[in-house]
Amino acid sequence: MNDHSEFFELSHDGHVAHLKLSRPERMNTMTLAFFPAIRDTVRGLGAEGKTRALVISSTGKHFSAGMALDVFAAGESALTVSTARDRLAFQESLRKLMDCFSALDEANFPVICAIQGGCIGGALDLVTACDIRVCSADAFFTLQEITVGMAADLGTLQRLPKIVPQGVAREMAYTGERLGAARALAVGLVNAVLPDAAALLAHAMALAETIASKSPLAVAGSKHAINHARDHSTASGLHQMTLLQSAIFDTGEMATAIAAWKDKRTADFDPLLPTA
């Protein structure tokens, strides 16, 4: 697993993991090294099998100002497109960067993102790859890429139109204008708006704890089914559900859940198995 300490802190509270962006003096901007760090951390949590929910939060005035501008400086080798070989390498580099946020979307556990202040450019690529977003009243969201002369390319243009209405996604993509917290709630980009950063984190952690109290097998199956339904037809989703349910249907898991529900206590579920 890559060293992540330069970019974020990782902690655990029971079955809930908490990844906190920790470069407020740089507005939590992302360098090229940030991407494999978050990818390897998320996939490492999945491989261990113990995490049942992940909260991503931040520090400072803004959640993240997106990609650090010096990444785009002239002469950055990963972004050179002068020759056919450069362009082929660029495509592969871009696929690898996309995969780093896809790790959030593909994780067996839900990812909850708590956003305060600005969620700008590449940060929106990150949060749209999460399962659930909540924000503080001062939050705003902007596709900054159009303002600096490029199209967003790390997942927002593909995921955002499946979260908010097409017209809203297109307006954001074409204008770069800010979407404030109240409108973000109204269009479904976020599930809740909290008064400040402290209340925001408390809300996100409480939501994660609720998810973590459920069967990790059933939660993982639900996430896989929802993701498949998002990207396929209803008929395809129903077919996939027959295969998925036959793989994860567990009467022992259900008995544990039902007994805990009747006794009004938290169930004690086995963790998912670790993977190589």
Residue 151 sits in a domain whose CATH number is 3.90.226.10
Give the integer Cα–Cα distance in Å for 229 and 223. Answer: 10
Into how many domains does the chain fold?
Answer: 2
Judgement on whether residues 240 and 128 belong to the same structural domain of the protein = no
Asked if residue 35 is part of any domain, the answer here is yes
Last residue of a domain, one of 212, 229, 252: 212
Judgement on whether residues 243 and 159 belong to the same structural domain of the protein = no
Asked if residue 274 is part of any domain, the answer here is no
Judgement on whether residues 45 and 91 belong to the same structural domain of the protein = yes
Alpha helices for the chain (secondary structure H): 34-48, 84-106, 122-128, 156-159, 166-175, 181-187, 197-212, 216-231, 234-248, 251-263
Question: Which structural domain range is residue 117 located in?
Answer: 8-212
**What is the layout of strands, in order, in the sheet containing 16-21?**
8-13, 16-21, 53-57, 111-115, 132-136, 193-194
pLDDT tens string, the chain, 276 residues long: the values are 456 789 999 999 999 999 999 999 999 999 999 999 999 999 999 999 999 999 999 999 999 999 998 887 655 556 778 899 999 999 999 999 999 999 999 999 999 999 999 999 999 999 999 999 999 999 999 999 999 999 999 999 999 999 999 999 999 999 999 999 999 999 999 999 999 999 999 999 999 999 999 999 999 999 999 999 999 999 999 999 999 999 999 999 999 999 999 999 999 999 999 998
pLDDT of the residue at 76: 57
pLDDT of the residue at 1: 46
Judgement on whether residues 197 and 148 belong to the same structural domain of the protein = yes
Judgement on whether residues 181 and 236 belong to the same structural domain of the protein = no
pLDDT of the residue at 80: 79
pLDDT of the residue at 276: 81
Asked if residue 268 is part of any domain, the answer here is no
Asked if residue 247 is part of any domain, the answer here is yes
Judgement on whether residues 121 and 220 belong to the same structural domain of the protein = no
Asked if residue 89 is part of any domain, the answer here is yes
Judgement on whether residues 33 and 111 belong to the same structural domain of the protein = yes
State the DSSP code for 98: H
Strand partners, 179: 141
Judgement on whether residues 224 and 241 belong to the same structural domain of the protein = yes
Last residue of a domain, one of 195, 212, 229: 212
Strand partners, 11: 18
Contacts of 50 (CB under 8 A, 6+ apart): 15, 271, 272
Residue of 5, 19, 6, 9 whose CA lies nearest to 204: 19
Give the integer Cα–Cα distance in Å for 274 and 251. Answer: 21
Nearest 10 degrees: CA dihedral of 149, 152, 157, 160?
-110
Judgement on whether residues 177 and 241 belong to the same structural domain of the protein = no
Asked if residue 270 is part of any domain, the answer here is no
Give the integer Cα–Cα distance in Å for 142 and 180. Answer: 9
pLDDT of the residue at 71: 82
Residue of 131, 124, 153 whose CA lies nearest to 42: 131
- Beta carbons of 155 and 128 less than 8 angstroms apart: yes
